[in-house]
Chains A and B, each alone.
Chain A
Amino acid sequence: MMRTAISILKKDLRMEFRSKESILAMWIFSLLIFVIFNFTFEVSRLVMLEIAPGLLWVAFVFSGMFGLNQSFALEKENGNLRAMALMPVDGGQIYVGKFFSVTIIMLMFEALIFPIFVIFYDLQLSLGMFRLIPVLLAGTIGFTSLGTILSAVAVHTRNQQILLSLLLWPLVSPIIIWSVTLTGMVLSGEVTEAFYPLLVRVGAFDVIFFTLSYMLFDFILED
């Protein structure tokens, strides 16, 4: 049943590792954000700790937008989007394949950019930082589960990037805001009892977005 999803995932990752187009562009874009913010604002460490979580997620989601746009732009090339519509498979399987490829590429990018972020903003690493892993996972999955289906909608239009932004931001904002809050708690070392319920809430949104997208993807592929 997962054969199609795995085939699409393998194909996307192979193409990405060969060209490194998305991950390089995302990495350079984030690096620029960190450099500009670091050298523009002379702020104390205390203030930096307050803005760092937001800054980190600004880098993640803006770079993630590039990854999402790329994901279906390469399907549009040579009519592959139509080839997908012709495939004798459940559209949900295509969604799962595309979702995992975008998510893996974004998580890899996050793993590569986070050490740079730590160096630039002189963050103290501690064991408590491991709590960032579920936060980044949940926030990223929420962003990509919704972003994957909306990217498939937007790719049919002429102004793909603008439409994707317009559709995605209002819907994904709660997840990003909660992820920033959770990241702030971890980076400041002040993990309160609100941490886990908020993390569960992000996870619940992930499940809802993923399930709805899986069910609706067949309709997206039609003309």
Chain B
Amino acid sequence: MGVPALEVLGVSKDFGRIIALRGVTFSVQAGEFVSILGRNGAGKTTLLNIVSGVSRPSEGEVKLFGTDPSDRENKAKLAVISHEMFLYGNLTAIENLEYYSRIYNVPDAKQRVEEVLSDVELTHRRFDLVATYSRGMTQRLTIARALLHEPSLLLLDEPFTGLDQHAIGMLITLLKKQKEMGRTILLTTHDLHTATELSDRYIVISKHKIVKDGLIADTSPDAIREKFFSAEAGGLES
């Protein structure tokens, strides 16, 4: 087995007196699809921020492809999809994507922009300002923006939040395609069914630490819900 795509080694994070993560350790192999499950405030987003290099851990270490996540080479291999759009409302879809393609040095940018727009079915609206898009369309464009530079590692932070059924279906299809292409994917979600449909592995974070790291093949959404998110266990929402 080669160098893992991601290694999280004893990571803790606190914001003053507020503890966000405590001694989190796991690794993700290249091509693996891992879902991080946990209640609101469990520390999932903090973990993704640390993995993406935007935030530094208070303790512990993160390695992306064997090196520091804030290395420029690593950042070029990474894409983040979250509830934040990373788009400019006062630019058109094509202007947004051309901007990011220049930043990420995407080869054959014009063709690649058309490809990703077509993948998310937004070709017909490419010259419209993003501010005029619906929430679902904006999220589809967010996905197109993230896939533009063909990242090796995709970090998805609650990507289904606020999406309509059509957009959720499209995102699931796109994620399956990315998985088939061998991309490494780390997803945080509340949606146990989607997580178990897409992932190879799941990690449950509770009270800022990992309480379960298991294979999806060995379980079911109901079993996960029953064991970690039942009313007795505190529910899925905090």
Contacts and interface: CB of A to CB of B under 8 A. Distances in A.
On whether the two chains bind one another, the answer is yes
A88 B53 contact: no
A7 B84 CA distance: 21
Interface residues of B, number: 28
Contacts of A4: 102-103
Nearest to A94: B103
B232 to A, nearest CB: 35
A87 B145 CA distance: 12
A11 B91 contact: yes
A19 B89 CA distance: 11
Interface in B60-82: 72-76, 78, 80, 82
Interface in A1-47: 3-4, 7, 10-11, 14-15, 18-19
A111 B154 CA distance: 47
A71 to B, nearest CB: 13
Contact of A74 (B74, B78, B88, B102): B88
A19 B90 contact: yes
A88 B75 contact: yes
Contacts of A80: 86-88
B54 A88 contact: no
Interface string A63-89: 000000000001001111011011111
Contacts of B74: 88
Contact of B89 (A77, A89, A222, A223): A77
B102 A86 contact: no
B29 interface: no
B161 interface: no
Given A3-B105, A7-B99, A7-B103, A82 B91 contact: no
Contact of A14 (B53, B76, B78, B91): B91
Given A7-B99, A11-B91, A74-B90, 16 more contacts: A7-B102, A10-B99, A11-B88, A11-B99, A15-B88, A74-B88, A77-B88, A78-B86, A79-B85, A79-B86, A82-B80, A85-B54, A86-B52, A86-B78, A88-B104, A223-B54
